[in-house]
């Protein structure tokens, strides 16, 4: 029963918890680093939004520092090598799209997928986090909603000409998200974060984002669950 997990006394100092945290904390740190770099790249691709995007990139860098402090607080060394491999699929697809000047694909990967993934993970983590990490994560998640909003607004304004590329980018990248959620499920469970809750929260955030951009309910059902059954 998921609600019991949150009420259980979690031993943040146990070896089991710290071992799982070394990977989860690294994923979060690497995710914030990816986001930082991706917004700098997006600022080059969208020079008319350069100031806003550089501001977002700096926020991501602050988030990274916050989560590094969370690891230090629990005396955990983040397994960054693991985390880089974890993000390799989305990282590669973003780089390829950026080289090809595919702004829509870059925005889908960073502003929708990575932001929604972060929001879902942070929402599920907050109730079961240690006090120090909870305060940090609560501050961060508020920022992530504003980042998601940047992508939504841009894609909404360019909806008609972006639609086909969004469909293709979704097809290419959403199955990677389900794979990532599977890879992290056991460690997340050790932190009292349920995989089903993560999937559900991600789909809610992502579905709302697609709706704000202009997709119909029918489109959203199809897009937001793409590749889920294969996961
Ligand atoms: Fe962030
Ligand atoms: Fe963000």
Dihedral sign, CA of 138, 144, 146, 149?
negative
123 alpha carbon – ligand 2 mean position (Å):
14
Q: What angle do the packed helices 159-190 and 88-99 form, to 10 degrees?
A: 160
Residue 5 has pLDDT above 80, yes or no: no
pTM for the whole structure: 0.94
**Tokens found for residue 50:** 């350069």
**Residues 196-223: pLDDT tens digits?**
999 999 999 999 999 999 999 999 999 9
Q: Give pLDDT tens digits for 25-84.
A: 999 999 999 999 999 999 999 999 999 999 999 999 999 999 999 999 999 999 999 999
Mark the residues whose beta carbon lies below 5 A from ion ligand 1: 32, 60, 63
Higher local confidence (pLDDT), 126 or 226 = 126
Helix-helix angle 131-157:159-190, to 10 degrees: 160
Q: What is the pLDDT of residue 9?
A: 83
Residue 143 CA to ligand 1 center (angstroms) comes to 7
d(CA 151, CA 209): 9
Euclidean distance between CA atoms 6 and 127, whole angstroms: 7
pLDDT confidence band for 8 (50 / 70 / 90): low
| Least distant ligand from the CA of 39 | 2
- pLDDT over 70, % of the chain: 95
Closest among 72, 86, 60 to 150, alpha carbons compared: 60
- So what's the pLDDT on residue 228? 83
Asked if 215 and 224 touch (Cβ cutoff 8 Å), the reply is: no
pLDDT at residue 4 greater than cutoff 80:
no
Assess whether pLDDT exceeds 60 at residue 230.
no
């Amino acid at each position: 029963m998921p609600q019991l997990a949150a009420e259980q006394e979690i031993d943040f100092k146990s070896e089991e918890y710290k071992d799982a945290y070394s990977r989860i904390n690294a994923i979060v740190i690497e995710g914030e680093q990816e986001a930082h770099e991706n917004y700098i790249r997006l600022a080059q691709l969208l020079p008319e939004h350069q100031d806003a995007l550089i501001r977002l990139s700096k926020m991501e860098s602050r988030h990274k520092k916050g989560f590094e402090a969370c690891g230090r607080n629990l005396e955990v060394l983040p397994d960054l090598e693991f985390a880089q491999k974890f993000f390799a699929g989305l990282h590669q697809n973003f780089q390829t799209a950026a080289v090809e000047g595919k702004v829509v694909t870059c925005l889908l990967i960073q502003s929708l997928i990575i932001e929604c993934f972060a929001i879902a993970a942070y929402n599920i983590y907050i109730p079961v986090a240690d006090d120090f990490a909870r305060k940090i994560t609560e501050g961060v998640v508020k920022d992530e909603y504003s980042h998601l909003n940047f992508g939504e607004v841009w894609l909404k304004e360019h909806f008609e000409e972006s639609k086909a590329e969004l469909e293709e980018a979704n097809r290419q990248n959403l199955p990677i998200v389900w794979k990532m959620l599977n890879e992290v499920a056991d460690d997340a469970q050790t932190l009292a974060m349920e995989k089903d809750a993560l999937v559900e929260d991600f789909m809610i955030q992502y579905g709302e984002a697609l709706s704000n951009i202009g997709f119909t309910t029918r489109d959203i059902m199809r897009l937001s669950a793409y590749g889920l059954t294969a996961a």
